[in-house]
Chain A
Amino acid sequence: DAKTTQPNSMESNEEEPVHLPCNHSTISGTDYIHWYRQLPSQGPEYVIHGLTSNVNNRMASLAIAEDRKSSTLILHRATLRDAAVYYCILRDHSGTASKLTFGTGTRLQVTL
């Protein structure tokens, strides 16, 4: 399975934008890039996903590099409720057996 690499932790001030990077240099053509976040003692929550084009939704934006070897999750205005562990994973949509592996993610701290 293709793997992803993320920084262990990042900090942000409240109401400032946050850019969370993810490297996935071994991504294949059928892999979608997914982002999830996890609050303490809860299950992960879906944030956003994309294939080639940049994506926006009510929670965040996803910027995907032209060569697809990296991507960036963008939180436009961080709030204290955005403090969580963010996971970047690759999801094969080819219809074959699909395993999803979560690494250790990036722990985002948001301060006042």
Chain B
Amino acid sequence: DGGITQSPKYLFRKEGQNVTLSCEQNLNHDAMYWYRQDPGQGLRLIYYSQIVNDFQKGDIAEGYSVSREKKESFPLTVTSAQKNPTAFYLCASSIGGASNTGELFFGEGSRLTVL
């Protein structure tokens, strides 16, 4: 089945450790996105990528890094520089380009807790 897979679903980390969240899609979408959601809040854009080997900062990129070496993969690294990393992280993708409908497809999310 086509879709977006995020892993792990739950992750615990000690302070000072980097952690990488995986996001894989088999929808052949060009554009991919990472969002952060805190309890009772909306989604805030961390990074997005419109095409392989290119990505742009979103509204809250500090303390995060990404790579886009393959079309189907857009991993997010939460670095030790992120002061408050405990949150629900959501990955999304869309077809991209001028002719697309713009519909975003989301993964099920990864919940990161820093101990």
Total number of A-B contacts with CB less than 8 angstroms? 62
Name B72-115 residues within 8 Å CB distance of A.
88, 90, 92, 96-98, 100-109, 111
Taking the closest CB of chain B, its distance from the CB of A87, in whole angstroms, is 7
Taking the closest CB of chain B, its distance from the CB of A104, in whole angstroms, is 4
Residues of A within 8 A of B2 (CB): none
Contact A87 B42 (CB under 8 A): yes
Contact A44 B104 (CB under 8 A): yes
Give a binary string over A36-57; 1 marks a CB under 8 Å from any B CB, 0 the rest: 1000011111100100000000
Residues of A within 8 A of B104 (CB): 34, 36, 44, 46, 100
Q: Interface extent on A, as a size class?
A: 20 to 34
Task: Please tell me if B59 contacts chain A, counting CB pairs below 8 Å.
Answer: yes
Task: Please tell me if B33 contacts chain A, counting CB pairs below 8 Å.
Answer: yes
Contact A49 B97 (CB under 8 A): no
Contact B102 A34 (CB under 8 A): yes
Contact A100 B33 (CB under 8 A): yes
| Chain A binding surface, main DSSP class | loop
- Closest Cβ neighbor of B97 among chain A residues: A95
Of B43, B88, B90, the most chain A CB neighbours within 10 A belong to B43
Task: Please tell me if A76 contacts chain B, counting CB pairs below 8 Å.
Answer: no
Q: Which among A45, A49, A94, A104 is the interface contact of B106 at CB below 8 angstroms? A: A45
| Contacts from A to B (Cβ < 8 Å) | 32, 34, 36, 41-46, 49, 87, 91, 93-95, 97-105
